[in-house]
Structure formats: C-alpha cells, structure tokens
C-alpha cells in the first residue's frame, strides 16, 4: 500500500540544493515561514552508512516540517537510510531521480535512474517497507532522448505501484551528456504543461511542480493546476519571497515577522552556534539576500561577505551589517 501523509502540506516547498540547503540555511528560512516544507541537501547512502550519520542528519526542531533527500540506487541501502530518517524524526524521505550532476551519475543515482523505472520502484518499495514515513520521488520530465510523455507516464505508473503517492517534477528534461548541472537548470525549456497533464492523468497522485517559479503570483497560478510548487534558487537569492507564503497559501492569521525581527532571531542563533564552534560565515552566507530590493541591501551583503570570515567575528556581525545599511 502507498504510504500516505495526511499531515504534510506540500503547497509550497524549498528544493534540496547541494551546498546550500544545510541546517543553517533551513533554520534561517524557517524564521521567515513557519509552514513551507524544507528539504535537506541530497545525502548519499554511502555517506550515511559509512560515516557518522549525525554529521548529516542532525537538525534543529524548529526546522519541521522537514524532508530528507537521499541519493542512491541500492534498495537495501536506501531502506537502511530511511530507517535512520525515521529515528532522527524527519517528516518525509525523498529519493533523488532528478539531479544530472556528474558526481551523481558516477554513483548511479539521480536523473540517470529515470531510464530504470523498475529499479526506482524497487527502491521506493524497500524504503516504504522500512519506515512509516511518506516516501516521495523527485525527477525530471525526461532524460536525453527518453523524453516522450508515454515514457514519463510509464515511469510514474511504475513507481506509484510500488508505494509512491507524491512526485516532485522538475519541468525540464535533463541532458546527461554535454550540459553542466547549471546549464541543465537553464537551457532545456520549461514545460509546465507536461506536469499539468500528469496531474490530469493520475488524479489520485500528488504532483509538485519545480523549475523557474519566482513570484507568489506564479505560485498561486500553478496551484490552480497542480498540488504544490517547489522553488529553488529564488528562495536563496530572494528569501523574503517566503514572507507572504503563510498568509496567502496556508491561511495563517499571525502576522509575518519583519526582516529586522528575523535578524534578531538569527543573531541569537549565531551566538548559540558560535559557542559550539560553528564559524558565523557558515550561517550568514545564507542571509545575504534577506534585504534584496531594499535600500542598503548592497551594504548589507558587502559587510557580511567581507567580514563574516574574520577569526574574531561573532553574532554582532549582523548588527554591524544593519548599521552599514543606514544612510
């Protein structure tokens, strides 16, 4: 039976992004929105099973709702990692079938797995058996010359039969040869209509659309056609986009925090983490876009970029950056 997740609201989520959506980024974004679903960076099964898992899995309780994204193609290894996700208290386990990075392909996971739908189904079945969490899959609309709708529908049908109810679809195909990961996020055209067609053809499944969405108006438009939207780079470049999400998408009545209130919360967080030996720049690098489009934004970014790496930098770096914004 497919795993169900009646409590997870996927109307808006933040994409797993290598080198970006670490625990410090997620804590920061959670100060802006209480309801968006957050994802970890992709973590490989090899890293979790052969190194200290706490290094990859620890998170702050404030980060909920939170999903763990796994990279791998061995069902038993993915099942073992799914059990770890359950033990750590994650709300969802996601399998990466969408990343075209060379370091992903060399490990035989990511987008190249779209060519092997039965293997993906076997992975989903093993994970679903191992843990009572919802098991989801993030994938592309196709790879290389395997980009016909019938092939995509066969992939979804096969994986759904193994226990996956939720498909997060990056509405671009991926070229596994000839394009870099960055180019694969930009050059293949966005085809939202393909994801809309999947939803029309598989009405009992949940579909979340990913790729190119940059405004709340675009999110609201897409939600007329599909179940959820996942945003990636825009949330990093312009995180204040999320400030209106709780009210407009999730029906929250509490007022959104101000940017300065978010800074105050993050200052306390930086102080706590600094006491544990975490350099401030590992946290403040995620905050550079907080004042995007506001007077003084450049001064804010410059001060953090140039000074957060200092050996004597501490939580006061945020107040210093705020002071630099004043005319």
Determine the 3-state secondary structure of 166 from DSSP.
strand
Query: Known catalytic residues?
Result: 99
Nearest 5°: phi and psi at 212? 80, 0
Axis crossing angle, helix 316-325 with helix 259-275, rounded to the nearest 10: 150
d(CA 164, CA 156): 9
Using only C-alpha atoms, what is the Rg of the chain? Answer: 20
Which DSSP string do the residues of 68-136 spell out, in sequence order?
EEEE---HHHHHHHHHHHHHHT-SEEEEEE----HHHHTTT-SGGGGG-HHHHHHHHHHHHHH-SS-EE
- Which alpha helices (DSSP H) does the chain contain, by range? 23-32, 45-50, 54-57, 75-88, 102-105, 117-130, 149-161, 181-184, 192-201, 216-222, 233-237, 245-250, 259-275, 281-284, 297-307, 316-325
């Amino acid at each position: 039976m497919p795993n169900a997740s009646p409590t997870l609201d996927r109307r808006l989520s933040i994409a797993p992004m290598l080198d970006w959506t670490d625990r410090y980024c997620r804590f920061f974004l959670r100060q802006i929105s209480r309801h968006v679903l957050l994802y970890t960076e992709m973590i490989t099964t090899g890293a979790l099973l052969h190194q200290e898992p706490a290094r990859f899995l620890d998170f702050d309780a404030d980060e909920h709702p939170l999903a763990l994204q796994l990279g791998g193609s061995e069902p038993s290894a993915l099942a073992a990692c799914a059990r770890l996700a359950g033990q750590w208290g994650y709300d969802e386990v996601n399998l990466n079938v969408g990343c075209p990075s060379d370091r992903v392909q060399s490990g035989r996971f990511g987008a190249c797995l779209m060519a092997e739908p039965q293997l993906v189904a076997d992975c989903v079945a093993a994970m679903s058996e191992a843990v009572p969490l919802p098991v989801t899959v993030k994938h592309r609309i196709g790879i290389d010359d395997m980009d016909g709708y019938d092939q995509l529908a066969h992939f979804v049908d096969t994986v759904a039969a193994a226990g996956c109810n939720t498909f997060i679809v990056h509405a671009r195909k991926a070229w596994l040869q000839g394009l870099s990961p960055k180019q694969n996020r930009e050059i293949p055209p966005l085809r939202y209509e393909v994801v809309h067609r999947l939803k029309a053809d598989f009405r009992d499944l949940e579909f979340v659309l990913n790729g190119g969405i940059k405004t709340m108006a675009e999110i609201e438009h897409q939600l007329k056609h599909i179940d959820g939207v996942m945003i990636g780079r825009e949330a990093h470049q312009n995180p204040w986009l999320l400030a209106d999400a709780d009210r407009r998408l999730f029906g929250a009545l509490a007022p959104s925090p101000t940017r300065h209130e978010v800074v105050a919360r993050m200052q306390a967080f930086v102080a706590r983490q600094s006491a544990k030996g975490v350099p401030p720049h590992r946290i403040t690098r995620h905050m550079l876009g907080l004042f995007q489009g506001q007077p003084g934004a450049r001064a804010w970014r410059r001060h953090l970029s140039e000074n957060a790496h200092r050996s004597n930098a501490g939580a006061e770096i945020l107040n210093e950056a705020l002071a630099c914004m004043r005319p």
